Amino acid sequence: MDASQSVTIPTQTSLLHATSDASRSELFENRGFETARSLALHGAFVILACRDVKSANEASQKILDERPIAKVEVMPLDLASLKSVRYFSETYKCRKWPLHILILNAGVFGLPHVLTEDNIETTFQVNHLAHFYLTLLLKDVLISSKPARVVVVSSESHRFASLTTENINEDELSPPQSHYSHMKAYNNSKLCNVLFSNELNRRLLPLGVTTNTLHPGNMMSSQLARNWWFYKLLFTFVRPFTKSMQQGCATTLYCAAVPELQGIGGMYFNNCCRCQPSEKSGDVKLIKKLWEISVKMLNDRSFTC
């Protein structure tokens, strides 16, 4: 499905697109870039929030080369730094921009055990906690811009998460090196995406903000695999059966902008179709515990939301 053909965006719409950084050679094979490009070409005011500002400016220029009247802004945002997330939100609010669509697209995969400057395991912080913090800091902007949407990019990998109501705690979410598995960390972070999305929708739906989660599909050019040699090799063999970047961003575009989802949230999408997430995704106790632990981890580091 080419969801870009169904996108209808009023010209005043402001979109914040949080994306992970990529090298310059990978820049235009990035799902985040393709999503931003498609929305900008349809008239959205797109804010590219990226750690690598130089590459983001190149992406912005490429969009402008294709559509000179496109509205694209670049703002620095490093999800591996909670201080950067806070500074970004403060800067965004100072500009008095509305926020109609928030796309949480950034993700890392296959990393060795590395702690961020906040002393948190990187996969968990980048894939979940920083998104959690960013969204809560911008909550009032979303509400004042209603109707607004939050789109959370998760993965079918959430079905293989090991988190339960019995074992979820800070050490399980941000484990020490001795208990670290990059695959387990990724799967757990993707379940956190779905849990967070469902609870955010429950809290903000009455205020005019809907939240949906999606699996983008396995893309032939996806840069998630760049950190792990095995996946690079695997992608070489499965390339004929994977999605292009245009196909890979279709479900994101669908959740972000199709009119039929106006006012509808709390759903999980794959290939632009609603489907059932894992049973754990609806576990109220697990959702509550993740939210409480996430808030505590932020508060313990003097970051309030």
Contact indicator for 228, 182 with CB cutoff of 8 Å: yes
Q: Is the preceding peptide bond at 147 cis, omega within 30 degrees of 0?
A: yes
| Of 133, 186, 254, 268, catalytic | 186
| HEC secondary structure over 238-259 | HHHHCECHHHHCHHHHHHHHCH
Contact indicator for 123, 37 with CB cutoff of 8 Å: no
For the chain, the 3-state helix, strand and coil shares in percent, each to the nearest 5, are: 50, 15, 35
Contact indicator for 106, 18 with CB cutoff of 8 Å: yes
φ/ψ of 264, rounded to 5, equals: -115, 130
Q: Is 254 a catalytic residue?
A: no
Residue holding tokens 């998630």?
Answer: 224
Q: Which of 12, 175, 3, 178 is nearest to 99 (CA)?
A: 12
230 burial (CB, 10 Å; 0-12 / 13-18 / 19+) is exposed
Mind telling me the catalytic residues?
Answer: 186
